[in-house]
Structure 1
């Protein structure tokens, strides 16, 4: 390898190592995906809420449900307690929702935190939602407030990671009780007014209770780690009966409940991820340089030679040696007439005086020489046998005729 090649390889390796070091040392990007999965520690996972739930209600009273509610309720018809659903989007089908409501009406608690919920449930409870956007909220900050006097209702809790929040625009005030509100100042008629937007309701349903919240972010890691927001979340779950079992849904989640990729551990552990990338780069370099060194030589395949001329000579010699002069003269005359047709574009049907004059004019031969050539052609064509002398004479006259062809000379 030349000195220049070694320099290029060294520079390439240094560049790759520099990229690896920069990628390894740069701060890891925050994943803001709205997962709501209990095993996710990202900002919008619910790992901390799940941990605190086990601490508050005792671990043996809490059960994670990883199957659809319809299947769980069908298989466990007599279970009692609170069924918790937390996700940004919950779309129960009709049969599943009916089963949940019938179970709740028997004296159980249905706790749902979602900003997008079945319209059928809204119709059943006679409620209607709307959206507060950040159009007049430039700082993108929303304030939350609990309404229970025992939970310090004067305290405001802040959330700054939502472009919009949902609230209950319509509800039955005789049946539903407001647990918490969104407390934001907006402009109306050039006056600043404090409006309360209900975002959590508690309503009796049969012998049971339904608690609805349009703010599932209250149960995420990010919200709970922002002091003192954990008090707001604690105020919401205080409405659950601690003496009964708590069933936490893990089926309706935006985030996966399990890892489907075998490379998950490698790619989610910083050290293992870069060890894996380094190995791939090393294999790539090995294939390029080592593979090039040991590559089998490609054999040179010579192109096939044109054997047409040799074949023609062989056939001609066979005719000549066997004394078939008539056959040779026949083929030679036909080839010569084909030569006349292709070179001078003259028909060879009638070899009359006009034909001879045209051929002589176009071939740079005299009329006498041309007439003598075609006279010999006429005589040989009429004979049954041709001698060697006559064949040689024919060949010489044709060769002399072609040597004076002005068109052929102009092309060469």
Structure 2
């Protein structure tokens, strides 16, 4: 057993021990998400309602797991019936089919916090956020149901009907301490049928249905529907995920094992790749000795004090650059040369004439050259053409 394998084994054992301790000591966390799923036993699922609905509708309830559009296209001559929608995402074409069925004599119980605007406008109301209170009461307006209410003490939606057409009947309302009562349950005639719209679906969830006394309100709401066949459209709640990892990720133990496997694989690849990589040799870059050479030559000239020779070489290099870069003949340093150099460089004529004078002085082997002459010529030539 080599050293690398022992290290991997030790790391794996430590990770497994830590995960085991976390699993043993973890506390059960309540899922307070408003999922409205018929198979969820979490507080805001519809598991209890799903099982109680058989007795509530006297065995006449049928769950439909396809869209209303698809269902009614396959059942075009369906007699008048009840339609139930609970906080589901329904496309506009399906809503049109539902509205068409209601207009022909069916009744629809729509229990959603928000409807698409074209649908709500057609029914004759507009709902919005009316409150941000942490708790409230929902009750019915009918005198025979006055004693039946539900206390919403966990995450009420706070939605209500901010506008209702005069012909619409209010069946229920939201009651709060610091606000006026607001309608949350209405009855609207639509063609030959009726829409019942409730904008607080929380009263159907497991958390509230299991509280003592709340079932009566739940029964009162559905008592408005006629005793006949009822279709409950649950397509969005029952549609199964098609992700190929859905089974593994749905089981906590398998999910942890899967993530450990992926983490271990990443660590293995990382350490193994690092281990196998060959050592990259350090290559020293070539040293640029040109600057040192120039510096040495310059120091040599300064030590010798041969300013005349330095002026001659500077002048020769400058004139060569003028010939190559500016394409000016440098054989005669006369007025014509000065004019061409002035036109191509844009430098003042006085500066160019002074530079020509110093160049000629550097080219004259008998001229008396001072250090100041060299410095002045060097400055002028560098200003005329950057060398």
Structure 1 residues 300 and 54, CA gap change in structure 2 (3 angstroms) = same
2:256 is aligned, of 266, 271, 274, to: 274
Correspondence 1:307-386 to 2 at 5 A: none
- Uncovered stretches (5+) of structure 2, i.e. residues with no partner: 287-292, 299-305, 311-387
Q: Quick one: distance in 1 between partners of 2:26 and 2:51?
A: 31
What's the TM-score, normalizing by structure 1? 0.58
| Equivalent position SS for 2:56 | helix
Structure 1 residues 104 and 20: alpha-carbon distance in aligned structure 2, compared to 1, 3 A threshold: same
Radius of gyration: which is bigger? 1
Q: Identify which of 231, 234, 238 aligns with 1:247.
A: 231
| 1:110-121 alignment runs, 5 A limit | 110-121=108-119
Distance in 2 between the 1:297 and 1:26 partners?
41
Structure 1 64/98 Cα, relative in aligned 2: closer, same or farther at 3 Å?
closer
The CA deviation string for residues 70-129 of structure 1, in whole angstroms up to 9 with x for no partner, is 333233221131111121766x53x65444333112221111112222333443343343
Distance 1:38 1:249 in 2: 11
Tell me if structure 1 keeps the 8 A contact 2:53–2:61. Answer: no
Distance in 1, matches of 2:122 and 2:263, equals 60
The CA distance in 2 between the partners of 1:202 and 1:40, in whole Å, is 30
Following the alignment from structure 2 to structure 1, what is the Cα–Cα distance between the partners of residues 295 and 123? 99
TM-score by length of 2: 0.61
- Inter-partner Cα distance in structure 2 for 1:178 and 1:44: 26
1:162 aligns with 2:155: yes
What are the Cα deviations for residues 361-401 of structure 1, in whole angstroms up to 9, with x where unaligned?
A: xxxxxxxxxxxxxxxxxxxxxxxxxxxxxxxxxxxxxxxxx
CA contact (8 A) 1:86 1:114 kept: yes
Report how far residue 241 of structure 1 moved: 2.7
In the alignment, what sits opposite 2:131? 133
- 8 Å contact kept, 1:40–1:47: yes
Cα deviation 1:18-50 (Å, max 9, x = unaligned): 244214541243333333233334333323322
Q: In structure 2, what is the Cα distance between the partners aligned to 1:82 and 1:38?
A: 19
The answer to whether the Cα contact below 8 Å between 1:89 and 1:117 also exists between their aligned partners in 2 is no
Shift of the 296–278 alpha-carbon distance from structure 1 to 2, 3 Å rule, reads closer
Q: Which residue of 2 aligns with 1:230?
A: 215
> What's the offset of the Cα at 1:214?
0.9
Aligned to 2:330: none
Question: 2:243 maps to which residue?
Answer: 261
Aligned residues: 298
Task: Kindly state the Cα deviation for residue 200 of structure 1 after the two structures are TM-superposed.
Answer: 0.9
Determine if contact 1:82/1:247 at 8 Å carries over to the other structure.
Answer: yes
Aligned counterpart in structure 2 of residue 145 of structure 1, from 120, 139, 145: 139
Answer yes or no: is 1:35 the counterpart of 2:35. yes
SS at match of 2:39: coil
